[in-house]
Structure 1
């Protein structure tokens, strides 16, 4: 079975990648893909390499990387316009971001429905469809259902009628033709349940860690950071901001991520920001940390499953994460990860674990062992292949 995985990257990451390697935009498709995967950012080639190991030829396409896609078009004799600079996400005044926050649950689905969410332009669509024509997949795994929306997936379905699987890790749009998919997967059980209410087949399939990262990383750095947080901070993360501000008032917290414009000038977080880190640099920050924090996005509700759970434990970092109802299905609380249920409890746990090096190291080792034993992309790929067997059996 031939498998094609569709991904999309953050515009800030793409800007960083091409700024870091001058001339990369003029390199071959294979060279650009190799550089992108070597960064170890996000999903890289983790799904395709594990599908291949399990006996299924597989490839990845980064659908919103104009430089990479232009290289493919050039090498295949397609006419195309030269790509523009990788754009940063538009920024807005802080007062405007604060004003629209209460309406985001209403505005997001509406924006997606009227076409304001990220989508590919016509040229990008044409290149993608040509790539699918050439590869002729039996299965398409779409990791970005907004850039590659259901309308475009219907066109992809018309190219050899592959099995279509979509991965949805955030609040799904209403009014979409989700029935085009043979299966939708999510790390959030409530999202899977939502799709089932629409009559669409859906399963829980968690995020993961790629063990090959451990071989690719430089030597482990000294643990010179008491408390870290690596990730996004925005108005979608109110609980996270409240937690981090409380931690910053008491401890030497260091933050690696974006600095939101809407953050009040009085916030203690301003002095904590260290800039953004991607891939290899992010993993090294996690390894430098005596304690690294996790706080899920607000819309996750009472369900655990974000990428940070697996990235941090995978590289052997000590993770202090927020309690969720399903956390024990992933990790044993206070044996494989440390857990907090309130801001006060988080502060107490930080105090305790900073002064208990051996106990902290034991939890970190156990967390890494659990991830490597049960939460790798090999496990997730095998699980997806099992779902595919079920789809085929029901046809």
Structure 2
């Protein structure tokens, strides 16, 4: 099958999904529809898109330039099938091009639909939806849409050498509950590290996030995904904090996938891993502090969890496994 994936740039997950489909036997091309390659493009995006959105509270619904590039790609490549990831800023012209070349199509949502700009009309353009959210998948199905629940996954081609640190790690955006938990570690004197532009004290990161405030936690600037994996693999533990999501984050599978010890905030992770053996679950600040301290002090215990979690991930939770589930739709 000749497969075209149209994806956001977000951390290269489109390419990871592409490698999963390639492992399942597809001839895959992955294109980023929102790629900003030059400094000029990035500055223009800040001034012409992000700043007006912050000032007015409204956002650009359709990206005409990105849509035109994706239409051209579909018409020139004439794939058998197209997977559109998120795709909430692509116009109906992309779907018309897909229909014109006779390709099958799927919209893949790795976030809740309420966090996107999709409307009933834009969802109607796709004959098949795929969602990481069990609640969204159930709601779509109840509304008469064809939707397959497919959890997030890990890319097994990304296995860096561990970067050893002696601090409990969090990588990701800074939301309220995440800040609260990292501050609790700091106040308890637990060695810790938060990584990301929202945590970084660097002046450039404060400016590009439109926010000067930073909490009193140890922090580093953004890392490339592979470098974050290296840090995850070498830390005593990596924290996975969800908030108001009902689906499980990519990190749920990435932390054990790279050989890290996952501290996760949901008992429901038992759908994928055995708590206490393959991952560790915490329910409040005190439990997070206690588990963190024990993992720093007892690396042999942590190593047993690393090995078990990684085995489970590679056996059941890679992008190749998820791709095969989607390919069954077209069998």
TM-score interval for Structure 1 and Structure 2 normalised by the shorter chain: 0.7 to 0.9
Q: In structure 2, what is the Cα distance between the partners aligned to 1:135 and 1:145?
A: 19
Change (3 A) 1:239 1:175: same
Q: In structure 2, what is the Cα distance between the partners aligned to 1:337 and 1:323?
A: 11
Aligned counterpart, 1:133: 75
Q: In structure 1, what is the Cα distance between the partners aligned to 2:233 and 2:124?
A: 43
Q: In structure 1, what is the Cα distance between the partners aligned to 2:23 and 2:191?
A: 43
8 Å contact 1:2–1:56 — kept in the other structure? Answer: yes
Aligned counterpart, 1:366: 308
1:230 aligns with 2:171: yes
Q: In structure 1, what is the Cα distance between the partners aligned to 2:278 and 2:93?
A: 42
CA shift for structure 1 position 64: 1.2
1:319 aligns with 2:262: yes
1:248 aligns with 2:191: no
8 Å contact 1:229–1:294 — kept in the other structure? Answer: yes
8 Å contact 1:186–1:203 — kept in the other structure? Answer: yes
Could you tell me which of 295, 302, 309 is aligned with 2:252?
A: 309
Q: Secondary structure at the match of 2:90?
A: coil
Aligned counterpart, 1:85: 41
Q: Secondary structure at the match of 1:182?
A: coil
Instruction: Normalising by structure 1, report the TM-score.
Output: 0.72
Q: 1:1-395, aligned counterparts within 5 Å? A: 1-10=1-10, 41-43=11-13, 45-67=15-37, 84-87=40-43, 89=46, 111=58, 116-117=59-60, 119-121=62-64, 123-149=65-91, 151-172=92-113, 173-214=118-159, 217=160, 219-221=161-163, 223-233=164-174, 237-250=175-188, 251-259=190-198, 264=213, 267-269=215-217, 272-296=218-242, 298-300=243-245, 303-325=246-268, 327-389=269-331
Change (3 A) 1:137 1:273: same
Aligned counterpart, 2:203: none
Q: Secondary structure at the match of 2:107?
A: strand
Runs of 4+ displaced beyond 3 Å: 87-92, 173-177, 260-265
Consecutive unaligned residues in structure 1, runs of 5 or more: 11-40, 69-82, 101-106, 390-395
Q: In structure 2, what is the Cα distance between the partners aligned to 1:127 and 1:146?
A: 15
After superposition, the CA RMSD in angstroms is 2.7
Instruction: Normalising by structure 2, report the TM-score.
Output: 0.85
Change (3 A) 1:134 1:273: same
Change (3 A) 1:136 1:291: same
Consecutive unaligned residues in structure 2, runs of 5 or more: 199-208
* Cα shift readout 1:38-64 (whole Å, capped 9, x = no counterpart): xxx432523323323333221101111
Change (3 A) 1:8 1:330: same
* Cα shift readout 1:143-180 (whole Å, capped 9, x = no counterpart): 1222325x244323332232221112333244433122
8 Å contact 1:188–1:204 — kept in the other structure? Answer: yes
Q: Secondary structure at the match of 2:42?
A: coil
Change (3 A) 1:304 1:358: farther
Q: In structure 2, what is the Cα distance between the partners aligned to 1:51 and 1:304?
A: 22
Q: In structure 1, what is the Cα distance between the partners aligned to 2:177 and 2:312?
A: 27
Q: In structure 1, what is the Cα distance between the partners aligned to 2:317 and 2:60?
A: 31
CA shift for structure 1 position 120: 2.1
Change (3 A) 1:279 1:155: same
* Cα shift readout 1:289-321 (whole Å, capped 9, x = no counterpart): 11111101x330xx3510111221111011111
Change (3 A) 1:46 1:198: same
